[in-house]
Structure 1
Amino acid sequence: MIKRLTWRVATVTEIRQETPTARTLVFDVPGWPGHLPGQHVDVKLTADDGYSAQRSYSIANGDDGERVELTVQQVGDGEVSPYLTEVLEVGDQIELRGPVGGWFVWRPHSSPPVLLIGGGSGIVPLMAMIRSRGKSDTPFRLLYSLRDPGQLYYAGELEKVMAGVEVAYLYTRTAPPDAGRAPGRIRAADLVAYGWPPETAPDVFVCGPTGFVEAAADLLTELGHDPAKIKTERFGPTGG
């Protein structure tokens, strides 16, 4: 029997600004059952008049007791994200439910090489996988597509040299002088240069806007990657 998920009270213990419009919220969630990297939660905000709004957000950290981290990108006219990115403070409480999802997950005991491809805020569940790698000897390669350097999440961590983790940035609009690649959308040459060759049979995880995910998945299959090894998670306008 599938256990029904319940709403839990989550208290903000830390806030980290990632970009001008995105921040990471660290919560203490008593009774949290644990999670796998790649899973997400439902967040519910309830107004004084009883009106409530819900949104889903990927978990950004590996399993760490009763600690849950969410990185939220503000959506201009949204109901939930502006509150989470501009109003919520340390000590405040919200409700969340989870973990949700069992398909788009990486299990740390898995041994094949891992290829992570993230577009924009699609980096969030992929970062949970990187953080869950721990002492595993599974090699990771991350292709991170973003508009410009100012949109980089987790800069402090990704810019460090991490043994067994290779990171390539694919800028779509404005690239720094030392980027080594002209700005543009993801292309087959990027996957050849920075990804794993198909014969290594990597576990592939692609997350981002629908158009980005579909383009990346098509390129991967055209290059010979096994479609059964490609897991995708996409997002589009949800009201924020």
Structure 2
Amino acid sequence: MKIEPVQEWQIATVTSVNVESPRVKLFKLELGSETKFRAGQYFDIRLTAPDGYQAQRSYSVTSSPEDARTIELAIELIPDGEVSSYFHEYVEPGDQIELRGPIGGHFTLSPNFTKPVLLIAGGSGIAPIISMLRHRRSSTRVAPTAVIFSARTESDILFGTELAEMSDEDPNLHLTITLTRSKSESVATSSAPRETRRIDRPMIDSTIDSLGEQPARAYVCGGTDFVETIGNHLLDIGMAYDDVRTERFGP
């Protein structure tokens, strides 16, 4: 197993804060030094109180790796989450944040990989996948790609407009967005039709049909139960264990 070098902590400056959904804010950070990363990697954030108490949390980068001086993080407000609550309630442009990274190598995707790819995200699990798609969008060599994104309600669809634009402009990118709550529970933010169902084997099979062949690699990111369920579906259809890359998150 490859052991990653220990990352040094550095100070980054918040340059913008934007509301992406009722529970997610986007934070752009200017890094203290040029830091190259790969689409799919994450950074650790560390907060230190005046009495020395520290809280730490990891967040996937949502921006494209092309800019090594700036990163964007999508931070979801988690009930009783020390780091996410602090960011949502107090962090504003000009604040300085301690972070280290990039971290992670298994859940990364390069545009040089040109075989068919399947990307599946649940909720804020879209964060590392939007980084992959943004990098893909700016590259000349792209793989046939299918995306399935599951959100709770219409208002919880992160990067929805951008995802739709990517799909509309690229015939090799197939996008499916599904909601897990009924329309009566959802506040619509666009006129685009959505299915109300959880990701299941038939949906995965239909998405793979849109690729025209079985994906050579799949990336799945979301909560633990979500990742385990989807991962089992992919193994059941014959994908190799090493070709199913997963990233899990929790409170």
TM-score by length of 1: 0.91
TM-superposition CA deviations, 1:192-212 (whole Å, max 9, x none) = 122356953422000000111
Aligned counterpart in structure 1 of residue 201 of structure 2, from 184, 188, 199? 188
Q: Tell me the SS of whatever aligns to 2:228.
A: helix
Unaligned runs of 5+ in 1: none
TM-superposition CA deviations, 1:55-106 (whole Å, max 9, x none) = 0111111111211110000011111101112211011111000000011111
Alpha-carbon offset, residue 30 of structure 1: 2.1
Contact 1:10 1:94 in 2 (8 A): yes
Unaligned runs of 5+ in 2: none
**Distance (Å, rounded) in 2 between the aligned partners of 1:8 and 1:231:** 29
Q: Which has the higher helix share?
A: 2
Alpha-carbon offset, residue 34 of structure 1: 0.7
CA, structure 1 residues 116+39, in 2 after alignment: closer, same or farther (shift >3 Å)?
same
Aligned counterpart in structure 2 of residue 27 of structure 1, from 13, 26, 29? 29
**Distance (Å, rounded) in 2 between the aligned partners of 1:52 and 1:211:** 29
Structure 2 residue 250 is the aligned partner of structure 1 residue 236: yes
Counterpart of 2:152? 147
Q: Tell me the SS of whatever aligns to 1:9.
A: strand
Q: Percent identity?
A: 36
Counterpart of 2:224? 210
TM-score by length of 2: 0.88
Alpha-carbon offset, residue 180 of structure 1: 5.7
- Partner letter of residue 147 of structure 1? R
Counterparts of residues 13-24 of structure 1 (less than 5 Å): 13-24=15-26
Alpha-carbon offset, residue 148 of structure 1: 0.9
Contact 2:47 2:55 in 1 (8 A): yes
**Distance (Å, rounded) in 2 between the aligned partners of 1:57 and 1:168:** 24
Larger displacement relative to structure 2 (193-202 or 22-31)? 193-202
**CA RMSD across the alignment:** 1.9
**Distance (Å, rounded) in 1 between the aligned partners of 2:33 and 2:217:** 32
Counterpart of 1:55? 57
Q: How many residues align?
A: 236
TM-superposition CA deviations, 1:15-47 (whole Å, max 9, x none) = 121111111100000213210011101000111
Counterpart of 2:175? 167
**Distance (Å, rounded) in 2 between the aligned partners of 1:198 and 1:213:** 24
Structure 2 residue 84 is the aligned partner of structure 1 residue 76: no
